[in-house]
Amino acid sequence: MANMLQSVSTATDLPSDSSVQESMEISESQFTSSDINALPSGVTIADLQLTIEKLYAELKQTQAELK
């Protein structure tokens, strides 16, 4: 069981926060107007970024609990 948790932990090693932020900035700059128009009404890029940040924080917490 411990081996399984260790393999899950190593399989989910995360990039540094700075590289994630950089990746998000690069991705954000690649949106075109057609991409934005494809979002459901009421959903903004800021909403999506906030959701991603919350999920990333939750993933880091889960990873820490598995260690």
Between CA 37 and CA 45, with CA 39 as vertex, the angle to 5 degrees is 100
CA distance from start to end of the chain: 12
Answer for the pair 60, 14: CB distance below 8 angstroms, yes or no: yes
Q: What integer pLDDT is reported at residue 27 of this predicted model?
A: 58
Report which DSSP code applies to 39. S
Which residue ranges of the chain lie beneath pLDDT 70? 1-39
Q: What integer pLDDT is reported at residue 41 of this predicted model?
A: 79
CA distance 26 to 30: 7
Q: What integer pLDDT is reported at residue 40 of this predicted model?
A: 72
CA distance 40 to 13: 32
